[in-house]
Amino acid sequence: MFQNLTERLESAFKQIKGEGRITELNIAATVKDIRRALVDADVNYKIAKEFTDKIKDEAMGQKVITAVSPGQLMVKIVKDELVALMGGSESELQSKGNPAVILIAGLQGSGKTTFSAKLANYLKTKKGLSPLLVAADIYRPAAIDQLKVLGEQIGVDVYSEPENKNAVQIAENAVKEARSKNKNVIIIDTAGRLAVDEQMMTEVANVKSAVKPNEILFVVDSMTGQDAVNTAKAFNDRLDFTGVVLTKLDGDTRGGAALSIKYTVEKPIKFVSSGEKMDTLDVFYPERMAQRILGMGDITTLVEKAQAQFDEEQAKKLEKKIRKNQFDLSDFKQQLEQIKKMGNIKDLLGMIPGVGKAVKDIDISDDAFKGIEALINSMTPEERANPDILDARRKTRIAKGAGKSMDELNGFLKQFEQMKNMMKMMNKMPMGRMGLGRR
């Protein structure tokens, strides 16, 4: 995410890193590079200029403290300003009501339907609410089907009236349906067009007046950069929405939308969506995003994702096995499954400070573990528990079953052996034992 911007900012900071003190001259050079980096990331020039002017003023006004180098000071100033530019602190979703009504608007293809389902999933699993999804796209019958498929996937009911061509009526009926079925929040997925158009705006505005939403979320594809910002402005002028959702942050996004939208429409970004899977939705935290942009990683999100998947019982069992040196291939497979549940592997690695840059050109797809899993799947439970019994005959069978070569199987077994040896060593170290035993 925002890899290019991160690199450009890093190289801007390099200018001042070696300097003993902040001077008008070295600040000017750094600030100019920062401004260029922002403009190239598709941040509007006016915003980039205002941003860097602030940074310049801040930096010049700083007292020189010997404990902090000018480089560190600049990074801190830029980080604080990035946080401010993206809205300061996070903005909570209002989801209380009888039912609470959340209206979803945006252009066609922006990711509205996908987001609607993700939001329902989030409210259900993280907030313990009982959501109802409403398909109010009266122009594309396929949109209703799409929402139904997603609803089924996450176990959330979908309300639709395929024959009705009146979105206002559908929305009003959905509110009644929610009340009668004890649903406490409804999410209305409205129709989108390929470009901002009067009929679409009137329709959403009418739905808004009829059902008085607690939240109107404007969904925008972050890959569209400056266009995203212009579309946001058009929707906001008409709808006065309450928050923004940035989608497709898993793609090759430059960052312009994330950095300029709050400034332009004065509405907070509430969620970011980064994938097609239902659990790839995150609350937007300006502070964490600023850290990621500056290559400082985002350990907080990483830890939260790990905690969400953490199974105390399983961890204890595993710990015992490691201590007794009984960690086998079935355990290994289980661990891989847990990691995969946390999300896109490359994104996860990118949250560790400094690692994002190191892995940027390496192809780590979600399928990275598929080969290993196929090999383990081809083994019998007995073989997984005790790989030592693998003779040539068994190995041939396993490799063939997994569609892998003998070299790949041997390579993997060797790696697994090395991993076990390392665990053994850690068990012998007093520190390792302390760490493992304390939990």
- Across-strand partners of 157? 132
Q: Are 295 and 353 in contact (CB under 8 A)?
A: yes
Between 47 and 257, name the residue whose CB sits nearer to ligand GDP. 257
Q: Shortest approach of ligand GDP to residue 410 CB, angstroms?
A: 36
What are the respective helix, strand and coil percentages of the chain, to the nearest 5? 60, 10, 30
Q: Supply φ then ψ for residue 174, to 5 degrees.
A: -65, -35
Between 87 and 106, name the residue whose CB sits nearer to ligand GDP. 106
Tokens of 267: 């509405």
Largest CA distance in the chain: 74
Q: Shortest approach of ligand GDP to residue 104 CB, angstroms?
A: 9
Q: Are 366 and 340 in contact (CB under 8 A)?
A: yes
Rounded Cα–Cα distance for residues 177 and 169 (Å): 12
Q: Shortest approach of ligand GDP to residue 9 CB, angstroms?
A: 24
Is 106 known as a binding-site position?
A: yes
Between 27 and 281, name the residue whose CB sits nearer to ligand GDP. 281
Q: Shortest approach of ligand GDP to residue 368 CB, angstroms?
A: 18
Is 88 known as a binding-site position?
A: no
Between 69 and 236, name the residue whose CB sits nearer to ligand GDP. 236
Residues that bind ligand GDP (CB under 6 A): 106, 108-114, 192, 247-248, 250-251, 273-276
Is 48 known as a binding-site position?
A: no
Q: Shortest approach of ligand GDP to residue 273 CB, angstroms?
A: 4
Is 192 known as a binding-site position?
A: yes
Q: Are 16 and 27 in contact (CB under 8 A)?
A: yes
The DSSP code sequence of 64-132 is: P-TTS-HHHHHHHHHHHHHHHHTTSS-------STTEEEEEEE-TTSSHHHHHHHHHHHHHHTT---EE
Is 109 known as a binding-site position?
A: yes
Is 250 known as a binding-site position?
A: yes
Is 193 known as a binding-site position?
A: yes
Rounded Cα–Cα distance for residues 116 and 175 (Å): 16
- CA dihedral (216, 217, 219, 225) in degrees, to 10, reads 100
Between 192 and 343, name the residue whose CB sits nearer to ligand GDP. 192
Which residues are CB-contacts of 114 (< 8 A; sequence separation ≥ 6)?
150, 247, 273, 276
Q: Shortest approach of ligand GDP to residue 274 CB, angstroms?
A: 5
Is 239 known as a binding-site position?
A: no
Between 250 and 298, name the residue whose CB sits nearer to ligand GDP. 250
Q: Shortest approach of ligand GDP to residue 235 CB, angstroms?
A: 13
Q: Shortest approach of ligand GDP to residue 118 CB, angstroms?
A: 8
Look-up: residue for tokens 């053994």?
424
Between 226 and 344, name the residue whose CB sits nearer to ligand GDP. 344
Q: Shortest approach of ligand GDP to residue 154 CB, angstroms?
A: 14
Is 403 known as a binding-site position?
A: no
Rounded Cα–Cα distance for residues 342 and 120 (Å): 19
Name the pairing type of β-strands 215-221 and 185-190.
unpaired
Is 3 known as a binding-site position?
A: no
Is 264 known as a binding-site position?
A: no
Tokens of 185: 């929040």
Rounded Cα–Cα distance for residues 116 and 385 (Å): 44
Between 18 and 109, name the residue whose CB sits nearer to ligand GDP. 109
- CA dihedral (329, 334, 339, 340) in degrees, to 10, reads 100
Q: List own/partner pairs for 72-79 with CB under 8 A and 24 or more apart.
A: 73/22, 74/13, 74/16, 74/22, 74/27, 74/30, 75/13, 75/294, 78/9, 78/13, 78/34, 78/294, 79/290, 79/291, 79/294, 79/296
Query: Which DSSP symbol is given to 224?
Result: G
Between 113 and 160, name the residue whose CB sits nearer to ligand GDP. 113
Is 181 known as a binding-site position?
A: no
Between 15 and 110, name the residue whose CB sits nearer to ligand GDP. 110
Q: Shortest approach of ligand GDP to residue 402 CB, angstroms?
A: 29
Tokens of 57: 């003023």
Is 110 known as a binding-site position?
A: yes
Known binding residues for GTP are 106-113, 189-193, 247-250
Known binding residues are 106-113, 189-193, 247-250
